[in-house]
Amino acid sequence: MTATQVTYGRVVTGVGTGRATAQRLLVIALAASALMLTGAPAAQAHTDRGVAGSNWAGRVLELSSPMPGVDLSVTQFGDSLEILNGSTVTVTVYGYSDEEYLRIGPDGVWRNENSPATHLNLRRDGRTSLPANAAPGAAPDWRQVSTQPEYSWHDHRTHWMLSAPPPQVAADPESKHTIINWTVPLSYGDTAVAVAGELTWSPPPEPMAWWPFYLLIPVAGLLAGLLPGSARPLTMLLVTAVASAAWHVAATPQPGLTAADRALATGAAMLPTLVALAVTAVAVRAAWRGKDLLAAMLSAVVGFMLLVQGLPDMDVLWAANVITGGPVWLARVTVAFLILGGVGLMLGAATAVRRFRATEPSAAPTPVAPAAVTTP
């Protein structure tokens, strides 16, 4: 009787299989982190109560008497006023009939429920029915609305309330106009203070001067993904977009009563950008070491993060006035790289990933030749 014994060696998988799986797991983990870090609270840290740009602008011109330790500013491009009271003196804000409306002091903020302003300020257009208790001559009914000595309120004296544009804007929309000169009465302790300010309107930026540049950014991202040979051109756009994000955070003033409050707000706003910077460093290193597929996938992750960060600031692209501590034109450029650079990175990465995946080492099993054939 004859017996034949055949012995086979181990099955060897493609060299790139484990490495590619690890890369994909890394990208998935980073994408999940990006989704959590680029939520609405962090993204809207670059805006003023959700408004990033406007053709309106309000500002305080002068105080009839100084208020040491008190910071009073116009917010939401003229729609609201904000007081940060770091003094030991109570500031009283008066309503539209000179009734006591707010008290802002060391023990927090108190609002008079019998002031008509309490109810009229709930709507931007002021169209609301006043309750019977809300009357200028009614005795104040104080309710605490904050334990902190800071408060922001919508004030109808500081903004344009009609839906139609002001007559001077309708007549000459290409020029800047002063729309309202307003006064808001306060008291600083026992001292009466009149706050004088103005509301202006400015024409938006010329579309033909900006939109060709805006649209060029996503096109550049797509072309970078199509270029053969390497993911380096894509990572160059990635570096530019993330640098824009870092500048945008650094140049955006953060609210807060104290320096510590502002530092904490800046840190919270900076967190997604710090993550994007770290991922960008990994992507650049991967591209320069020939790991193009990993670099392209990481570019897509960061592109998504930048897009989510930039969307709340979209008004900056076409508004005359924006929230920034630097030049307005630079704010528009950086927001364009956040939004449209994010889109361009995702478009370019989508094409690059398909191209580089095709060049990855094969993952098909490779059987080893028979080790021995024995015939007794």
Q: What share of the chain is helix, strand, coil (3-state, %, to 5)?
A: 45, 20, 35
Tens digits of residue pLDDT in 323-353: 888 899 999 999 999 999 999 999 999 999 9
Residue found by looking up tokens 């309750």 in the block: 131
For residue 231, give the amino acid letter.
Answer: A
Residue 195: Cβ within 10 Å count:
22
**Residues of the chain under the 50 pLDDT cut:** 1-18, 22, 25, 29, 36, 40-45, 363-364, 373, 375
Smallest CA-to-CA distance from 334 within 349, 348, 320, 314 is with 314
- Does residue 157 share a domain with residue 110? yes
- Does residue 217 share a domain with residue 193? no
Look up the pTM and report it: 0.77
Burial class of residue 257 (count of CB atoms within 10 Å of its CB; 0-12, 13-18, 19+): middle
**pLDDT score recorded for residue 49:** 54
Smallest CA-to-CA distance from 201 within 235, 221, 185, 178 is with 178
Q: Are strands 142-146 and 150-154 parallel, antiparallel or unpaired?
A: unpaired
For residue 17, give the amino acid letter.
Answer: T
Residue 1 lies in a domain: no
Q: Are 222 and 348 in contact (CB under 8 A)?
A: yes
- Does residue 28 share a domain with residue 85? no
Residue 363 lies in a domain: no
**pLDDT score recorded for residue 14:** 43
Tell me how far apart the alpha carbons of residues 242 and 342 are, in angstroms, rounded to a whole number.
9
Task: Please identify, among 169, 201, 233, the residue that sits at the C-terminal boundary of a domain.
Answer: 201
Tokens of 119: 């109810």
**pLDDT score recorded for residue 215:** 96
Tell me how far apart the alpha carbons of residues 101 and 116 are, in angstroms, rounded to a whole number.
8
Tell me how far apart the alpha carbons of residues 210 and 320 are, in angstroms, rounded to a whole number.
12
Q: What are phi and psi of 158, to 5 degrees?
A: -105, 0
Domain that holds residue 29: 16-49+205-357
Smallest CA-to-CA distance from 27 within 335, 358, 297 is with 297
**pLDDT score recorded for residue 307:** 94
Residue 61: Cβ within 10 Å count:
11
Tokens of 239: 């570096």
For residue 267, give the amino acid letter.
Answer: G
Strand partners, 83: 72, 151
Tell me how far apart the alpha carbons of residues 303 and 338 are, in angstroms, rounded to a whole number.
8
**pLDDT score recorded for residue 299:** 95
Tell me how far apart the alpha carbons of residues 243 and 47 are, in angstroms, rounded to a whole number.
19
Residue 239: Cβ within 10 Å count:
15
- Does residue 69 share a domain with residue 44? no
- Does residue 240 share a domain with residue 164? no
Tell me how far apart the alpha carbons of residues 269 and 249 are, in angstroms, rounded to a whole number.
7
**pLDDT score recorded for residue 128:** 81
Smallest CA-to-CA distance from 339 within 230, 269, 248 is with 248
- Does residue 256 share a domain with residue 338? yes
Tell me how far apart the alpha carbons of residues 190 and 174 are, in angstroms, rounded to a whole number.
45
- Does residue 174 share a domain with residue 112? yes
**pLDDT score recorded for residue 2:** 38
- Does residue 294 share a domain with residue 316? yes
Task: Please identify, among 201, 231, 248, the residue that sits at the C-terminal boundary of a domain.
Answer: 201
Residue 364 lies in a domain: no
Q: Are 197 and 308 in contact (CB under 8 A)?
A: no
Helices (H), 60-175: 116-120, 167-171
Q: Are 217 and 344 in contact (CB under 8 A)?
A: yes
Task: Please identify, among 201, 235, 263, the residue that sits at the C-terminal boundary of a domain.
Answer: 201
Strand partners, 102: 93, 111
- Does residue 215 share a domain with residue 197? no
> Number of folded domains in the chain?
2
Segment holding 350, helix H or strand E: helix 328-357
**pLDDT score recorded for residue 125:** 77
Instruction: Go through 152-165 and write b for each residue having 16 or more CB atoms within 10 A of its CB, e for each that does not.
Output: bbbbbbbbbeeeee
**pLDDT score recorded for residue 26:** 53
- Does residue 185 share a domain with residue 170? yes
- Does residue 69 share a domain with residue 41? no
Tell me how far apart the alpha carbons of residues 104 and 123 are, in angstroms, rounded to a whole number.
22
